[in-house]
Structure 1
Amino acid sequence: MHEPVPHLILASTSRYRRELLQRLRMPFDVVSPATDETPLAGERPAQLSERLAMAKARAVACLHPSSIVIGSDQVAECDGESIGKPHVHERAVAQLRQMSGRTVAFHTAVAVVHLDAGFARCVRVPVEVRFRALADADIQAYLRLEQPYDCAGSAKCETLGISLLDAIRSDDPTALIGLPLIATSALLRDAGADPLRWAGADRGC
């Protein structure tokens, strides 16, 4: 008999994370974690990203203890302050003005939890992004074309947002998009779900 493929769940409603995880070619389901993302008093952006990644994974794992659950969160940091999703045009303009000509840290954390196996681990992958000096006309043109209002920092580096940047520094090229696949793959291997082993497989016995 073939060993059953581990049941994998992505604890996220983000289409960007879903598309990234699909690159590993492992079957998975998507479940909303319904997690309160309000920062705690005095919580640093890096700490916030790690806490929320683990909270999302645990929230879904509690409902599916036999499944391997992936949770992830990203928090941008400029001048020591967290920069979240703008949601509206005016906030996106303000964010890009603030980041113009600056180096911004994007903290992307990924957690993998398998409650039945007693496995719970989180890794944070930092990314340094240097924005070029942006004129207001550049900002307005970009936002009008791409409308990245669901992205922390108001820019999609995987598409036209790359034109706003001078440099990206990271050990994982997918971390800035929202799910660091190198770290995710390592955590999945440790949890017993090696992507190379299970890629393309069907769930079940």
Structure 2
Amino acid sequence: MIGTLRGTLALRDPDEVIVETAGVGYRVAVSPDTSAALGELGREVMLHIHHHIREDAQTLYGFDTPDKRRVFEGLISAHGVGPAMGMAILSIYGPSELAGILATDDIDALCLVPGVGKKTAARLLVELKSRLDIGDVTTAVASGYPAGEQPTDARSVVRQALAELGYSAEEIRSAIAALPPGDDSSALLKAALRHLASGI
């Protein structure tokens, strides 16, 4: 089983990269934020790998931090969550955001993930609390925000701000998925608004 992969970033798309090592190019499925975090083509990169094996295929899923890989593996161990949905969730929410969602039972946040409706989100909240160990989820509600309204990090702040501005769930999903790495909520909100204004 492959646990990490180090080599030259030879090709990059939003959802896949090719890392070349010892003359072999490895195709690795990644989330948009991991893809962006790898930097320029031609540089040496290192990915934490989940090697997913099925009867008909083998797929490498890559993450820029071990925490993301650990959360991904927790996600796909939940009933009805395959690698595609696990990557979709991590494309919108990082480990700290998921901690806040679990702490506040924020069903609406999970519903922003493509393919997740209210019933699925409710089931996932229950299952993920027992399967994911992503820090002290109780700290997310410690500052007095009502349940489901605590902005746990910059992306959650942006999501909440866009919802208050009247954007639809689909628009918010698209804007959050397109955000660059960063923890400045003001800068990320501006980037989200530019993305929405561009109509991409």
Work out which structure has the larger RCO, using CA pairs closer than 8 Å and 6 or more positions apart in sequence.
Answer: 1
- Shorter-chain TM-score bucket reads under 0.3
Please report the TM-score for the alignment, with normalisation by the length of structure 1: 0.27
The structure with the largest strand share of the pair is 1
